[in-house]
Amino acid sequence: MEYKAITVTDLNKYIKEKIAGDETLNNILVKGEISNFKLHYTGHMYFTLKDESSLIKCIMFKTYTSNLKFTPKDGMKIMAFGTVSVFERDGVYQLYCKAMQEDGMGSLYTAYEELKAKLEKEGLFSQAHKKKIPYMPKVIGVLTSNTGAVIRDIINVSTRRNPNVYLRLLPVPVQGEGAAEKIAVGIKLMNEKKLADVIILARGGGSLEDLWPFNEEIVARTIYDSELPIISAVGHETDFTIADFVADLRAPTPSAAAELAVPNIAEVKLKLDTYQNRFRQSLKKKTELMRLRYEKCMAGRVFREPLQKINENYMLIDNVVKKMQNSIITKYKDKKLEAIKIYSKLDALSPLKTLSRGYSITEQEGKIVKSVAQLKKDNIITLRFEDGKCNAKVL
Amino acid sequence: MEENKDMNFEDTMKKLEEIANELEKGDLDLDTSVTKFEEGMKLSKQCNKILEDAEKRISILINNGNAIEEQDFVPKAE
């Protein structure tokens, strides 16, 4: 038999077709541990799936990654569903993943979703029930492990924000069997003895299994029943536990929880100083305004020359008096002229004038004699002249 | 001092803001302005005192049966 050479391309094409024709390889569920995980900037995920003795290259395209309920990491045990196919260029076969879930976590996920739905329906996540975090808590209770980075982070952030902060750590186990119950007891204890004004319930990052105590019903209900406000800070920013949903406030990380619980004292002091300045400034402004008003008032004419107005009034009175005087004088002059006119008329009509021209008036017993018939012989008559009178006897 | 203990810090800060706004509006008469000013200064000094009187304490609660013991706490370096 003679062999006929074919190209590499043809070979890979042939293998690809063979594999594509296999039903099992088209839809397969594989379990293994993730290693060499890379999230490419295009959004596709590249990794290998391995067990103790073998490995396979895997790829998950961006189209599918948005459906993932967890963030794949090296070392994670998963189950991947997909298709095995050949990448012809490199001559490699790989698993094209369409879905993944954490192996062994399936039941935990279901429990989580079920409890979450149940508590949500009961109203444990209700915004209306959430208590306000006090602005200036005197004592901050911290429920977490007494070892590890979490408590150190909280202490560091808290003391940086408030050098005189009062933190009370109640150590509790944050993972493993019995942790949930101990966390619940701790929250109750803080409440019963009023050991804090606000509680931080914290734990560092970990797998879903590690964070599990914070997904247990007993913890959720104790948080709900707590009279003290609770800030939860469990795991990383991307982890949402049921404790986070029930808590009065959820912090993405333990450090963030400390920032939410402890006010920055420097800022508060600055604010207080600003208030004092504002008070001083506005009072200063007020008195300044009053002073200006007073000065404006005193600068007025009334205060500057108080007698001027009075003098003006005097002048007015004088004017009126003068007017009155003038009118009286005028009237008097008019009357005088009138009188003179009457006098000269009188003068013209006076008989005395006639007497001066040599006429005389004859009177008998005080009566003027107007006719000679009134007189008889020996009557005594009086003759009146301009300059006097004399008696005479009729002959 | 008793007054300080019962004082709600957040409410007092709100009160200070109110007083500042009222004073800055400027339509209060002088007597009221002075009264408000004195109140504001008093409250802000009380707040300052609370901040200054606070003492740093990092403690750990140890539950030994019935009683709870409080001890100073120093985190262990890892």
pLDDT at B4 (0 to 100):
47
Contact between chains at B10 and A276 (C-beta distance less than 8 A): no
B33 SS3 class: helix
Q: For residue A133, give the chain B residue with the closest CA.
A: B10
Residue A277 forms contact with B (CB below 8 Å): no
Q: Which residue type sits at A373?
A: A
Residue A206 forms contact with B (CB below 8 Å): no
The token pair at A185 is: 């007891």
Report whether pLDDT(A206) > 80. Answer: yes
pLDDT at A277 (0 to 100):
93
pLDDT at B77 (0 to 100):
63
B60: closest CA of chain A, how far (Å)? 5
CA angle, A191 as apex, A188 and A193 as ends, to 5°? 110
B1: closest CA of chain A, how far (Å)? 16
pLDDT at A312 (0 to 100):
87
Ramachandran area for residue A358 (φ above 0: left; ψ -120 to 50: alpha; else beta)? left
The whole-model pTM stands at 0.59
| Chain A residues within an 8 Å CB radius of B18 | none
pLDDT at A225 (0 to 100):
96
Kindly indicate the confidence band of residue A101, based on its pLDDT and cuts at 50, 70 and 90: confident
Contact between chains at B20 and A278 (C-beta distance less than 8 A): yes
| Listed range (A47-61, A115-129, A201-215, A298-312) with the worst mean pLDDT | A298-312
Q: What is the pLDDT of residues A69-89, one digit of tens each?
A: 888 988 888 999 999 999 999
In contact, A84 and A95? CB cutoff 8 Å? yes
Q: Which residues, 6 or more positions from B20, have their beta carbon under 8 angstroms from its beta carbon? A: A275, A278, A279, A282, B40
Eight-class DSSP state of A251: -
Half-sphere exposure at residue B46, Cβ-oriented, CA atoms within 13 angstroms:
21
| Chain B residues within an 8 Å CB radius of A288 | none
Kindly indicate the confidence band of residue B78, based on its pLDDT and cuts at 50, 70 and 90: low
Give mean pLDDT, residues A42-47: 94
Give mean pLDDT, residues A354-377: 86
- Sort strands A55-60 and A92-102 into parallel, antiparallel or unpaired: parallel
CA–CA separation, A383 and A370 (whole Å): 13
Query: Which domains are delineated in chain A?
Result: 8-103 (2.40.50.140), 134-263 (3.40.50.10550), 352-393 (no CATH)
The backbone torsions φ and ψ at residue A393, rounded to the nearest 5 degrees and listed phi first, read -120, 130
Average pLDDT, chain A: 90
Share of chain A above pLDDT 70, in %: 99
The token pair at A322 is: 């003068």
In contact, A166 and B56? CB cutoff 8 Å? yes
ipTM, two decimals, is 0.83
Alpha helices, DSSP H only, in A299-361? 301-304, 308-349, 351-356
In contact, B57 and A166? CB cutoff 8 Å? yes
Q: What is the pLDDT of residues A243-267, one digit of tens each?
A: 999 999 999 999 999 999 999 999 9
CA–CA separation, A80 and A95 (whole Å): 9
CA–CA separation, A188 and B63 (whole Å): 13
Q: For residue A146, give the chain B residue with the closest CA.
A: B75
Q: Which residue type sits at B27?
A: D
**Which residues in B have their CB inside 8 Å of a CB on A?**
9-10, 13, 16-17, 19-20, 23-24, 26, 28, 30, 33-34, 36-37, 40-41, 44, 47-48, 50-51, 54-61, 63, 68, 70, 73, 75-76, 78
Give mean pLDDT, residues A341-348: 86
